[in-house]
Amino acid sequence: MKTGFSLEESYGETGIKKNGIKYHKKVFSQCLEIGNLINKISN
């Protein structure tokens, strides 16, 4: 599923930092999938 950008390019291999908290990429991608599902339902 294309989001228009690469997670690796944007956030690096280890994960992302948000509000000083490091999220592992696996968790973030799960959140992204849930967001995509919500978008499908609302469309």
The number of distinct structural domains making up the chain is 1
- 18: in domain: yes
Residues spanned by the domain of 13 = 7-42
Token digits of residue 16: 């992302």
Is 17 within the bounds of a domain?
A: yes
Residue 6 gets the label, from left (phi > 0), alpha (psi -120 to 50) or beta, of: beta
The β-bridge partners of 17 are 22
Residue 28 maps to a domain = yes
**Residue-level pLDDT at 39:** 81
- Report yes or no on 19 lying in a domain: yes
Does the pTM exceed 0.85?
no
Q: Does 37 map to a domain?
A: yes
pLDDT in tens, 1-43: 455 555 544 444 455 555 555 555 566 677 678 878 888 888 7
Q: Is residue 1 part of a domain?
A: no
